[in-house]
Amino acid sequence: MKLILFHSAHAKIDCQDCQKYIYDFDKGERRTYKSGPQREERPMVRPKSTPPPCHKCPLESPEKAHKHRLNDRNVKTFILYHRSKSTNGLYLNGAERTDPIVARNFSIIDSFYRRKDSIDLASEIAQQLAPFFMK
């Protein structure tokens, strides 16, 4: 969940692919270059002497990456949360509305969104105030 909200570009990258190619971590896409007579876009291959930047990555390492990705059940809960939010809870059936596990899971997801919103708000305020302190 944190990976999707706070590091969405990294969420798109497969560790094995990152070991083979150089990535733009702001976009979550392979870096490319133009080559050949047709100026085709080709992926930049990671030189064997250049290790992948696992130390900077929120996935930590290929061995730990699975801990940061949502499993199938979590994805279903995430989708249910969004459908419920978009319909003010009307999407949920009676059992789901009273299920304590659903309530707990929705509370956890909601706390991540509140944290993301507060970080985004703080960043926006800082950007608006920065010119006043640069004088």
H or E element at residue 84: helix 72-86
Whether residue 30 is predicted with pLDDT greater than 80 in this model: the reply is yes
H or E element at residue 126: helix 100-133
End-to-end C-alpha distance for the chain, whole angstroms = 40
Selected residue with higher pLDDT from 4 and 48: 48
Q: pLDDT class for 98, splitting at 50, 70, 90?
A: very high
Q: Closest Cα to residue 106, out of 78, 127, 73?
A: 78
Q: Which tokens belong to 85?
A: 């939010």
The total of other beta-carbon atoms located within 10 Å of residue 102's CB is 17
For CA atoms 77, 25, 55, 112, give the dihedral sign.
negative
Q: What does residue 33 show for φ and ψ, rounded to 5 degrees? A: -145, 160
Across residues 14-28, what is the average pLDDT?
Answer: 90
Q: pLDDT class for 15, splitting at 50, 70, 90?
A: very high
Q: Residue 13, SS3? A: coil
d(CA 135, CA 130): 9
Specify the pLDDT at position 26: 83
Residue spans of the domains in the chain: they are: 1-68, 70-135
Q: Residue 41, SS3? A: strand
Whether residue 135 is predicted with pLDDT greater than 80 in this model: the reply is no
Q: pLDDT class for 108, splitting at 50, 70, 90?
A: very high
pLDDT tens digits along 111-133: 999 999 999 899 999 999 988 88
- The residue count of the chain comes to 135
Specify the pLDDT at position 124: 92
Specify the pLDDT at position 56: 87
pLDDT tens digits along 38-86: 889 999 999 999 999 998 889 999 999 888 888 889 889 999 999 999 9
The percent helix, strand, coil of the chain (3-state, each to 5) is 55, 10, 35
Specify the pLDDT at position 43: 93
